[in-house]
Structure 1
Amino acid sequence: LGYGAENGTWRNFYLTGAYELRNGSVGTPTVAAAPDITAALSVKQVFDAVSLRVDGVSAANSHIVIDWNITDENIVHRTELSNGVLIHFDVEGGSADAGSVDATFSLSRLGLLGVLLGGADLGAEIANGSITVAGDPAKLAELAGHLDEPDPNFAIVTPT
């Protein structure tokens, strides 16, 4: 099928499937994301990336609402984990409906990148004053507990 397929997409699909059946997963050489590429991400792109990592089954019964006050861009962005899905959106006019928010983190965009993508120590950032928290900071740890690490060696064609 692979060599007879005229369509390049189907040809690659068939040949990758045959390779996986014979040799196992193709594997992907991974390298940490370049800091300059990560620094260029917008706030929405950061939360898009985080939302893809949510383990829906483990987060099915959790409800976490966090406001992110991005001080250098003067925006408030809200994340809500509910029914195993993380949604995010800008909050118009500051923190509207603040009564339903579990925690509010005030930080710069680079601080957000460090906390969510770069492995910055949240406790140290709070202690030195670059991040301020209102509400329950443990909600961020609870949210992080529902995130999976992506597996770059997933099978393209064959089921796992």
Structure 2
Amino acid sequence: PANLHKWPPVEAGKRYVAAIGGADAVLEKAKASFDEGDYRWVAELVNHLVFAEPGNDGARQLQADAFEQLGYQAESGPWRAFYLTAAQELRNPMPASDFPRPAGADTVRGLPSNELLDSMSVRLNGPNAGEKEFTFNLTVSDTGETYLVTVTNAVLHHEPGKKAAGADANIQIERLALAQLALGEKTVEEAMADGARITGRPEALTELLGLLDVFDFWFNIVEP
């Protein structure tokens, strides 16, 4: 039961560090364990300090040294890659960016229509969507597929082969153009200028696209 409702890593880290006697005490004990070759314990112990104080350079360097040793000892190729990548991140943090750095745009452009809509559902920002509701009749013109796309209770659903009366917009668009909209490579107005047909309220589609998160590919793996 002690593992059922544990504190998140940052909050747990702060409590562990305080219980041990502060950052200096954690580093002292961890360095002693490192000298004894107990790299697994160093990694576990110092991880709490890194999460409690991400800017603590002593903790970052010691954690990197421990991961490096664990990487050298690992028989598994993936484990070795995880350890050494983590050590690199601790020593050379990824520079902050004001804009997300997405990856996989080519993959998104190649997705079948249903999977493209799935990806949009995953990216919908629930808190921002809130109580907003949308209904779209979507026709993928180059494949002949039709979908009823709805947003309700902050969730995007798509149902193949269905339509709704009184939809916010009726959309006829090629699959690639839909992917470009989802990726932010085109605006609704640009898609319409390139041949997409959208009747009703095109601005509703623009609003929906504005609720999609863009995930940063370069996420941290050993930091909060």
TM over 0.5: yes
Distance in 2 of aligned mates of 1:122 and 1:23: 40
Residue 120 of structure 1: aligned partner = 186
SS at the partner of 2:218? Answer: coil
RMSD between aligned residues: 3.2
Query: Mapping of 1:3-152 within 5 angstroms?
Result: 3-25=72-94, 33=105, 40-92=110-162, 95=163, 98-99=164-165, 101-117=167-183, 119-126=185-192, 130-152=195-217
SS at the partner of 2:127? Answer: coil
Structure 2: runs of 5+ lacking an equivalent: 1-69
More relative contact order, 1 or 2 (CA 8 Å, 6+ apart): 1
Q: After superposition, what is the alpha-carbon deviation per residue over 1:52-79, rounded to whole angstroms, capped at 9, x for unaligned?
A: 3322321233222222112232221232
SS at the partner of 1:76? Answer: strand
Q: TM-score if structure 2 supplies the norm length?
A: 0.54
- Cα gap change, 1:85/1:156 in structure 2, threshold over 3 Å: closer, same or farther? farther
Q: Once the two structures are aligned, what percentage of the paired residues are identical?
A: 34
Residue 155 of structure 1: aligned partner = 220
Structure 1: runs of 5+ lacking an equivalent: none
Distance in 2 of aligned mates of 1:39 and 1:17: 31
SS at the partner of 1:106? Answer: strand
Total equivalences in the alignment: 151
Distance in 2 of aligned mates of 1:70 and 1:40: 14
- Cα gap change, 1:86/1:8 in structure 2, threshold over 3 Å: closer, same or farther? farther
- One-letter amino acid of the counterpart of residue 15, structure 1: L
Answer with 70-79 or 140-149: which moved more.
Answer: 70-79
Bigger strand share: 1
Distance in 2 of aligned mates of 1:30 and 1:123: 23
Structure having the higher Rg: 2
Q: TM-score if structure 1 supplies the norm length?
A: 0.71
Distance in 2 of aligned mates of 1:30 and 1:143: 19
